């Protein structure tokens, strides 16, 4: 299982859009559409935002969207809101094993 690479931090102002990247390898992100994204506000447990690259569980606002190109998956948050300030983690599921990215801290300015 390869490690997934995320930028340590991103920031944006309310109303803007930000994109968080998640780079893996051809053996995981590049070969399977089993990438998910989790949001972790400070002091709380993670919660799934996106599964299978671009699907949203019920209750997740459509401001959150996911995509993939080659070995890199991306999470885009549009119309930033103060409550979006949190850590975000990507995850890849391959052959019954799970790997996580190092996490990205989103700051809403």
Q: Least Å distance between CB 100 and other proteins? A: 4
The span from the CA of 67 to the CA of 64, in Å, is 11
- Which parts of this chain interact with other proteins (CB under 8 A)? 1, 34, 36, 38, 44-48, 51-52, 57, 89, 91, 93, 96-103
- Is-contact 27 2, C-beta < 8 A? yes
Q: Least Å distance between CB 32 and other proteins? A: 8
Report the chain's C-alpha Rg in angstroms.
13
- Is-contact 33 53, C-beta < 8 A? yes
Q: Which lies closer to other proteins via its Cβ, residue 16 or residue 98?
A: 98
The span from the CA of 79 to the CA of 58, in Å, is 19
Q: Which lies closer to other proteins via its Cβ, residue 1 or residue 21?
A: 1
Q: Which lies closer to other proteins via its Cβ, residue 4 or residue 77?
A: 4
Q: Least Å distance between CB 6 and other proteins? A: 9
Q: Which lies closer to other proteins via its Cβ, residue 13 or residue 97?
A: 97
Question: 18: Cβ–Cβ under 8 A, 6 or more apart, which residues?
Answer: 10, 11, 12, 76, 77, 80, 106
Q: Least Å distance between CB 37 and other proteins? A: 9
């Amino acid at each position: 299982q390869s490690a997934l690479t995320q930028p340590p931090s991103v920031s944006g102002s309310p109303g803007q859009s930000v994109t968080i990247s998640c780079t893996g390898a051809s053996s995981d992100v590049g070969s399977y559409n089993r990438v998910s994204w989790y949001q972790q506000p400070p002091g709380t447990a993670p919660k799934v935002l996106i599964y299978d690259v671009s699907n949203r569980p019920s209750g997740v606002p459509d401001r959150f969207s996911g995509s993939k190109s080659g070995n890199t998956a991306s999470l885009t948050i549009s119309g930033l809101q103060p409550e979006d300030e949190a850590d975000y983690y990507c995850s890849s599921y391959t052959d019954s094993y799970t790997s996580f990215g190092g996490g990205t801290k989103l700051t809403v300015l």
